[in-house]
Amino acid sequence: MQTEQTTNHQKPWQDPLMAHVSGFRTGTDDLSYHIDASQIRGKIPETLQGIFLRNGPARNELAGKKFGHWFDGDGCVHTFRIENGAVDYRCSFVKTPKYVDETEAQQVRYRSYGHNAPGGFFRNLHMPANAANTSIVYHGGKLLTLFEGGLPWRLDLDTLATIGPEDFDGALKGMDTFSAHGKLHPRTGDYFNFGMGGGLKGPQLSLYQIDQQGKMARRGNVAIDSMAFCHDNAMTENYLVFMVMPVTFGSLFKVITARDTIDNNMAFRAELGMKVYVVALEDFSLVRTFEVEPFMYAHSSNCWEKDGELFIDVVAMNDEDAEVGTAFSRNLFSQPRPATGAMRRFRFNLNTGASSTEALPCAVPCEFPQWDMRRTGQESRFIYTAGICENETPGFYNAIQRIDLLRGEASAYDCGPARYTSEPIFVPRSPDADEGDGYILAVIYDANTKLSELLILDATNLDEEIASVPLRNHIPHGFHCGFTALP
Ligand SMILES: [Fe+2]
């Protein structure tokens, strides 16, 4: 057996828990190149055609000085156009004012989640600058980056040129927000999103319905008890479900006066309770509320109605992550193990007001739940997540999990030493394939080579690696992905 010292000497990292950190280094802007079949490990199936979309922070520092938080990094969009067994890869930073101005100045000019702008009170009288870095969707002919603190930013799908902020013909105003987690209704093709807001009307959820042509078809709002953190929601055939957890500012005064950064001031305040708001899709009216034991979460999986009950599956964060200061405020540039949790199901009876919760099968601590999006709003069998398995380098998401709710089983694919995944997404083998019959696509960052690849697994058996598409560059650790058919 090798000694630890010998092992470390042979590895491209010193600390196994921090081997992922090189994946935070700044990515390259405006790349475009072709990867033909001979360069691909394995073979991309003929039935897999489309564009894999990926967004995430790709510049986490300026002039050698790290930003305060992973959430602050400037967004960069990556597309993999998969056609006839080959791939056209492209990437581009979103040219927001934050990116453009700070690139020119080579210093921080804007307040962000984890750091304030230099200059004190008057330079920080605004929300965190829009970094366009969180999620991505192609809907209604528009490629949109999503950042919950501001408007979506639109890019050209073919060139990734930045078009600008998207306000849907003026339907979104300057102070409106638009979450990172809209939901596509599979039966109507409409896209629903929301924003958390305040103002004279008090705390509220702004609700948006965007039709298949990319037009704002309806706006609405629902009053909520207090300004709180609500990153995701869920959608059934007829309802939107918001589980608003009690994460808010510890001292709003300190934030407003720039005596504190936002992340440093966020607090999990269980005494405020946690309310669930059920909203009708047809008119955005509030249907019913429920109270649950407060817990911390960022992302939900699928949600559906059955016999008067709503079922919603979420990643409930581990207790040790339920204190802010560890979950969303952890400095991953210098600390290992991003937030993870376990899958948990909630049931809400719309007739009686009763609710209950139960644990779901889970093989690894997990995050970024995904499902077969054709089943959104209907009972579904499979959940796919990123996770952390106990391999040599468990400091970051290093596993892809598949949960079979029918069989009550969960299994995980180990990405390998110093190899890390981002959100895995499911793509069906064909439009009418059975649920779960298809592929898992995920960007892998390999700290051994300091390069990234697009990994394609068989969704019916995660041990079956179908193909891996190598890149000449790295994609910094990011957040959310998407997939769209070839135009
Ligand atoms: Fe998210």
Report the CATH number at residue 200.
2.130.10.10
**Å from CA of 85 to ligand 1 middle:** 30
Q: Within the chain, what is the greatest distance between any pair of CA atoms?
A: 67
SS3 state at 154: strand
Between the alpha carbon of residue 192 and those of residues 84, 175, 199, 208, the distances in Å are: 33, 19, 22, 6
**Å from CA of 146 to ligand 1 middle:** 10
> What DSSP line would sit under 411-475, residue for residue?
EEEE--TTEEE---EEEESSTTPPTT-EEEEEEEEETTTTEEEEEEEETTEEEEEEEEEE-SS--
| Domains held by the chain: number | 1
Would you state the pLDDT for residue 8?
Answer: 47
**Å from CA of 441 to ligand 1 middle:** 17
Between the alpha carbon of residue 243 and those of residues 230, 273, 289, 478, the distances in Å are: 7, 11, 10, 24
What residues pair up with 153 in beta bridges, in sequence order? Answer: 145, 165
**Å from CA of 385 to ligand 1 middle:** 12
Would you give the DSSP letter of residue 327? S
**Å from CA of 235 to ligand 1 middle:** 15
**Å from CA of 290 to ligand 1 middle:** 23
Would you give the DSSP letter of residue 332? T
SS3 state at 152: coil
Tokens of 3: 């000694």
**Å from CA of 24 to ligand 1 middle:** 18
**Å from CA of 339 to ligand 1 middle:** 12
Can you give the residue range of the structural domain that contains 206?
2-484
**Å from CA of 370 to ligand 1 middle:** 11
**Å from CA of 316 to ligand 1 middle:** 14
Sheet holding 31-35, edge to edge: 31-35, 86-93, 74-83, 50-59, 481-484
Burial class (CB in 10 A: 0-12, 13-18, 19+), 458: middle
**Å from CA of 134 to ligand 1 middle:** 7
| d(C-alpha 147, C-alpha 132), whole Å | 5
**Å from CA of 202 to ligand 1 middle:** 25
**Å from CA of 480 to ligand 1 middle:** 7
**Å from CA of 8 to ligand 1 middle:** 34
Residues of the chain with pLDDT under 50: 1-8
**Å from CA of 243 to ligand 1 middle:** 14
What residues pair up with 304 in beta bridges, in sequence order? Answer: 311, 377
**Å from CA of 184 to ligand 1 middle:** 15
HSE of 467, CA atoms in CB hemisphere, 13 A: 21
> What DSSP line would sit under 95-130, residue for residue?
--HHHHHHHHHTS--S--SS-PPTT-GGGG-SSPP-
**Å from CA of 151 to ligand 1 middle:** 16
Between the alpha carbon of residue 117 and those of residues 68, 121, 126, 243, 369, the distances in Å are: 11, 9, 10, 32, 34
**Å from CA of 47 to ligand 1 middle:** 29
CA nearest to 245, candidates 235, 256, 230, 233: 230
| d(C-alpha 108, C-alpha 102), whole Å | 6
Residues whose Cβ atom is located within 5 A of ion ligand 1: 180
Tell me how many degrees the CA angle 235-239-241 measures, rounded to the nearest 5. 60
Would you state the pLDDT for residue 256?
Answer: 85
Chain centroid to CA 306? 27
| d(C-alpha 50, C-alpha 53), whole Å | 10
Would you state the pLDDT for residue 89?
Answer: 98
Residue 29's CB is within 10 A of a number of other CB atoms, namely 15
Give me the amino acid identity at 138. Y
**Å from CA of 412 to ligand 1 middle:** 21
**Å from CA of 281 to ligand 1 middle:** 22
**Å from CA of 11 to ligand 1 middle:** 32
SS3 state at 22: helix
**Å from CA of 465 to ligand 1 middle:** 26
| d(C-alpha 37, C-alpha 56), whole Å | 27
Residue 439's CB is within 10 A of a number of other CB atoms, namely 24
